[in-house]
C-alpha cells in the first residue's frame, strides 16, 4: 500500500465545479477515425505514440469530443506510464522520444522512409536498445543481415531471451524485419536455387557460412525445442504479437475507461490521476424490510497532507443511481475528513486502506456509479455495479458476504453502518482471500419464504475445491430465529491453498432446491496477510427522518408520487423545521396538484429569511389556485433576490394577463423575450395582444 505525505502548497490549477447533473454513463459515440482529429492530435496518435498505445486506449481517444478532453487524455496517458511519479520529469516519456529521435537519426538513411517508420525503428521504439548487435553485411553468399539480441524482458510478456533479425532482400534496399515463417532461410541466401519449401539444404548452407545466421533463420528464441527442421511458429508470435504488445503489457488501461466515463463530472485536477481499486457491493435488508446497499472500496494508494505533526486526508464520494432507462433515481454526496497524528500514521502505514459505507434504495433494477476522490492528492477511483433491489415480500436470497473478521456485539448496534448486519459487524475483503487456519464468516438473507420452505425446509452449504465437494453442512430453517439472517462460521484449518466455492442451496420440505447461489474464495499459500484498516462511519438508525426523505425522493424520481408522498410527509412531520424536508414535501404535493397543501407547508417558512427557498413554490401554488396577485408578489420577491429568471417572468406575465392587466403582462413577456428570443409561442401571443390593443 502506498502512503505519500505531501507538504502543503498552493495549487496553481483552477478547479472546475463538480456538476451533479451530468451523466455518469457512457453516451453512444459515433465511430471516428484519426482523419477526423485536429492535426496536432492526429500526429500524436499516428506518429508520436502509434507503437506504444493499446487498441483500447486508441479507441477511447477517438471517442473524445473536445481538445480539452484530448489534452487531458494525453496527460493521463503519459502519467500512467511514468516509472517514477515522485520526480518532476516523466522518465518514460523522455526515453520514448529519445528512441524516436534515435530511430530517425540512424534507421532512415537508406530509404525515403523516416526512421521511426522503418522496421528497425518500430522495434527500437517499442522495446529499446538491444543487449548485443551482430552485423553480417558483406558476405557474398548471404544477404545483409543484422541480428539484435535481447534478454531480461519477461515482465513485458516476452521470452527470457530472444533475437530480432533484419535483412535486405535487395542489396540497395532498407533493412526489413525477418520472419522465419514468411521469409525462411532460403531467402537469406543470395543464390539459393533449391526447393523453397525444403529448409534443410538452405539451413546447412547458412550454417557453413555462420552458425549464428543459421540458428536465427529458423528460430528467434534461443534453446527453443524444435521437433522438426522447420521455421518456428513461436518466433512468428514473438514478432507479430508479443513485441508489438510489449509497450502496454504492464499498463493498466482502466484509467482510459474511467476518464471517458467521468470526464464531465470530475474537476480538471483529477482527470489524469485515476488509481486502481478493489470493490465489493452487497444488498441487505434491515429489520423493517428496507434495503441498504453496502459497499467496500479499497484504493491502491492513500496520500496524506502533512501539516506540522498532523496528517490529513479528505475523502469525497459522489454517487449516482440510475434506472434501466438512464433516469437518475438517487444522487448523493459524502465528505469524510480524517486527521491523525504520527503514531496513528505509523500503525496504518503498512496496511491497505478500506473505505466502507452504505445507503438506502427502494426496490428496482439500477446502475450504480460511485466516484471516490481524495481531495488532498487529487486522485480518483470509482465503482460501477448493477443493482437489483427485490421487493421485501418476494422470495429471494441476498448475495452472500464473506468476512475474515467479525465483532459479534458491535457497539454500533441499532445504527446503520456498512456491513453491520444485526448486531454483528462483518469485515469483508473484496477479493475473498483467506489464510490457512483462519475462520471464514458467511452471512446472507432469505426473504418471502413460501410455506413449504418455511416449515420443514433447510439450507445446505457445500464447499467445493475444483468442483469436488470437500465439506457440507445442512441447517434446518426451524433452527434459525426469524428465518431471515443466516450466519455461519467455517474454520479453514486443514484446508490447502487453492481456489474454492461455497454453494448455498435453499431446500423445500421435500428436499427440492428452490434457490441457490455460489460465491468463490481463495486460500493463499502465504503465511501472513496484511489486512486493511477500515474507515466506516455510522449513520442514524433506520427510523431517522433522513432515510424517509431519501426513499421518498427516490420514489418521486421514479415517477411514483403515491409511494413518495407518505415518506416525504413522514420526514417533514418528524422534523417540521427542516427546510429540506419541507421543500421536498412541497415538491410531491405540487406534483399531486395539492396546491393548498404546498402553501400550508411553505407558510411557516415565508415569515423569515428561509422564505427565499419557497418563493417559487408558493408563487406557482398561488397561481394554480387562481390567487394571481399573491402569486405576483411571491414571484417579484423571488426576482429581487435571485435575479432574472425566464420562467418566473413568463409566470408573472400570465398572472397579470389573468388579472386583465395586459400592459404589465406585455412588460414581463417582452423582458423574457429579450433574454431568450427563441420563444415562438410567446412571440405570437405578444403579436396578437398588440394587434388587439
pLDDT digits (tens, 9 = 90+) for 251-269: 989 899 999 989 888 887 8
Q: Is residue 29's pLDDT more than 50?
A: no
Q: Is residue 429's pLDDT more than 50?
A: yes
For the chain, give percent helix, strand, coil, nearest 5. Answer: 35, 25, 35
Query: Which of these ranges, 27-31, 298-302, 625-629, 669-673, has the smallest mean pLDDT?
Result: 27-31
pLDDT at 227: 67
pLDDT at 31: 60
Instruction: Please give the Cα distance from 196 to 184 (Å, whole number).
Output: 9
pLDDT band, very low/low/confident/very high, at 225 (cuts 50, 70, 90): confident
CA angle, 600 then 606 then 607, to 5°? 115
Q: Which residues contact 28 (CB under 8 A, 6 or more apart)?
A: none
Q: Where are the domains of the chain?
A: 1-22+265-391, 25-262, 393-528, 545-692
One fold for both 1-22+265-391 and 545-692?
no
Q: Is residue 20's pLDDT more than 80?
A: no
pLDDT band, very low/low/confident/very high, at 30 (cuts 50, 70, 90): low
- The distance from CA 356 to its chain's CA centroid, rounded to whole angstroms, is 16
Q: Is residue 21's pLDDT more than 80?
A: no
pLDDT at 19: 30
What is the share, in percent, of the chain residues with pLDDT greater than 90? 83
Report the helix count and the strand count for the chain, using DSSP H and E. Answer: 21, 25
Under CATH, to which class is 393-528 assigned? Answer: mainly beta
pLDDT at 312: 97
- Check if the beta carbon of residue 490 is closer than 8 Å to that of residue 471: yes
Average pLDDT, the chain: 92
Question: Mean per-residue pLDDT for 602-621?
Answer: 96
Q: Is residue 276's pLDDT more than 60?
A: yes
pTM value is 0.82
Measured CA to CA in angstroms, residue 290 lies from 416, 471, 641 at distances of 12, 34, 41
pLDDT band, very low/low/confident/very high, at 605 (cuts 50, 70, 90): very high
Instruction: Please give the Cα distance from 461 to 664 (Å, whole number).
Output: 77
CATH of 545-692, one of 3.40.390.30, 3.40.640.10, 2.40.128.720, 1.25.40.10: 1.25.40.10
Query: Which of these ranges, 144-148, 193-197, 443-447, has the smallest mean pLDDT?
Result: 193-197
Q: Is residue 161's pLDDT more than 90?
A: yes
Q: Find the distance separating the first CA and the last CA of the chain, reported in whole Å.
A: 77
In this structure, which topology does domain 1-22+265-391 adopt according to CATH? Immunoglobulin-like (2.60.40)
State pLDDT tens for residues 42-66: 999 999 999 999 999 999 999 999 9
Residue 31 CB neighbours (<10 A):
8
Instruction: Please give the Cα distance from 421 to 282 (Å, whole number).
Output: 12
pLDDT at 109: 81
Q: Which residues contact 682 (CB under 8 A, 6 or more apart)?
A: 650, 669, 672, 673
Question: Mean per-residue pLDDT for 558-580?
Answer: 97
| Grid coordinates of 386 | 448493477
Q: Is residue 571's pLDDT more than 90?
A: yes
State pLDDT tens for residues 204-218: 999 999 999 999 999
Q: Is residue 1's pLDDT more than 70?
A: no
Amino acid at each position: 500500500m502506498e502512503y505519500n505525505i505531501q507538504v502543503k502548497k498552493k495549487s496553481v490549477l483552477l478547479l472546475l465545479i463538480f456538476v451533479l447533473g451530468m451523466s455518469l454513463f457512457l453516451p453512444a459515440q459515433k465511430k471516428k477515425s484519426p482523419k477526423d482529429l485536429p492535426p496536432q492530435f492526429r500526429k500524436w496518435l499516428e506518429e508520436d505514440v502509434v507503437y506504444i498505445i493499446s487498441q483500447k486506449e486508441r479507441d477511447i481517444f477517438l471517442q473524445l469530443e473536445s481538445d480539452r478532453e484530448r489534452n487531458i487524455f494525453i496527460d493521463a496517458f503519459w502519467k500512467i506510464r511514468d516509472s517514477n511519479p515522485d520526480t518532476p520529469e516523466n522518465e518514460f516519456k523522455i526515453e520514448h522520444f529519445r528512441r524516436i529521435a534515435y530511430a530517425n537519426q540512424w534507421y532512415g538513411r537508406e530509404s525515403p522512409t523516416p526512421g521511426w517508420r522503418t522496421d528497425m525503428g518500430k522495434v527500437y521504439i517499442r522495446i529499446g536498445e538491444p543487449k548485443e548487435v551482430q552485423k553480417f553485411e558483406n558476405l557474398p553468399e548471404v544477404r545483409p543481415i543484422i541480428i539484435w539480441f535481447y534478454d531480461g524482458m519477461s515482465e513485458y510478456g516476452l521470452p527470457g531471451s530472444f533475437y530480432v533479425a533484419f535483412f535486405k532482400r535487395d542489396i540497395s534496399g532498407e533493412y526489413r524485419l525477418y520472419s522465419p515463417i514468411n521469409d525462411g532461410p532460403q531467402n537469406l541466401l543470395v543464390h539459393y536455387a533449391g526447393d523453397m519449401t525444403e529448409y534443410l539444404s538452405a539451413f546447412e548452407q547458412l550454417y557453413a557460412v555462420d552458425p549464428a545466421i543459421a540458428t536465427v533463420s529458423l528460430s528467434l528464441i534461443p534453446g527453443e525445442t524444435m521437433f522438426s527442421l522447420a521455421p518456428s511458429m513461436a518466433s512468428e508470435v514473438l514478432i507479430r504479437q508479443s513485441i508489438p504488445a510489449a509497450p502496454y503489457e504492464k499498463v493498466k488501461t482502466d484509467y482510459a475507461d474511467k476518464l471517458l466515463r467521468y470526464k464531465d463530472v470530475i474537476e480538471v485536477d483529477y482527470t489524469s490521476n485515476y488509481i486502481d481499486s478493489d470493490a465489493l457491493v452487497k444488498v441487505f435488508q434491515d429489520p423493517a424490510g428496507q434495503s441498504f446497499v453496502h459497499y467496500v472500496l479499497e484504493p491502491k494508494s492513500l496520500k496524506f497532507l502533512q501539516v506540522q505533526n498532523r496528517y490529513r486526508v479528505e475523502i469525497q464520494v459522489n454517487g449516482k443511481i440510475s434506472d434501466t432507462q438512464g433516469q437518475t433515481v438517487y444522487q448523493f454526496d459524502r465528505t469524510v475528513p480524517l486527521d491523525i497524528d504520527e503514531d496513528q500514521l505509523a500503525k496504518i502505514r503498512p496496511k491497505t486502506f478500506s473505505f466502507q459505507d452504505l445507503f438506502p434504495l427502494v426496490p428496482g433494477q439500477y446502475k450504480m456509479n460511485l466516484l471516490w476522490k481524495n481531495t488532498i492528492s487529487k486522485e480518483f477511483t470509482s465503482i460501477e455495479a448493477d443493482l437489483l433491489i427485490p421487493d421485501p415480500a418476494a422470495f429471494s436470497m441476498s448475495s452472500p458476504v464473506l468476512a475474515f473478521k467479525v465483532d459479534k456485539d458491535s457497539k454500533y448496534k441499532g445504527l446503520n453502518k456498512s456491513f453491520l448486519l444485526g448486531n454483528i459487524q462483518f469485515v469483508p475483503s473484496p477479493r475473498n482471500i483467506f489464510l490457512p487456519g483462519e475462520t471464514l464468516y458467511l452471512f446472507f438473507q432469505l426473504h418471502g419464504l413460501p410455506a413449504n420452505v418455511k416449515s420443514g425446509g433447510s439450507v445446505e452449504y457445500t464447499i467445493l475445491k475444483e468442483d469436488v465437494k470437500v465439506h457440507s453442512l445442512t441447517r434446518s430453517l426451524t433452527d434459525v430465529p426469524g428465518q431471515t439472517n443466516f450466519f455461519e462460521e467455517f474454520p479453514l484449518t486443514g484446508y490447502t491453498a487453492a481456489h474454492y466455492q461455497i454453494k448455498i442451496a435453499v431446500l423445500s420440505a421435500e428436499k427440492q432446491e428452490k434457490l441457490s447461489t455460489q460465491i468463490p474464495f481463495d486460500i493463499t499459500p502465504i503465511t501472513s496477510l496484511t489486512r486493511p484498516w477500515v474507515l466506516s462511519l455510522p449513520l442514524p438508525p433506520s427510523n431517522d427522518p433522513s432515510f424517509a426523505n431519501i426513499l421518498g425522493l427516490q420514489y418521486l424520481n421514479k415517477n411514483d408520487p403515491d409511494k413518495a408522498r407518505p415518506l416525504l410527509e413522514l420526514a417533514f412531520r418528524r422534523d417540521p423545521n427542516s427546510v429540506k424536508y419541507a421543500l421536498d414535501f412541497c415538491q410531491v404535493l405540487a406534483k399531486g396538484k395539492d396546491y393548498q397543501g404546498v402553501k400550508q407547508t411553505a407558510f411557516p417558512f415565508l415569515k423569515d429569511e428561509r422564505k427565499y427557498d419557497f418563493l417559487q413554490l408558493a408563487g406557482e401554488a398561488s397561481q394554480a389556485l387562481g390567487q394571481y396577485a399573491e402569486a405576483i408578489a411571491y414571484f417579484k420577491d423571488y426576482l429581487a433576490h435571485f435575479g432574472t429568471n425566464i420562467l418566473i417572468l413568463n409566470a408573472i406575465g400570465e398572472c397579470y394577463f389573468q388579472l386583465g392587466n395586459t400592459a404589465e403582462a406585455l412588460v414581463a413577456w417582452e423582458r423574457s423575450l429579450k433574454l431568450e428570443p427563441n420563444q415562438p409561442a410567446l412571440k405570437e401571443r405578444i403579436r396578437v395582444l398588440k394587434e388587439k390593443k
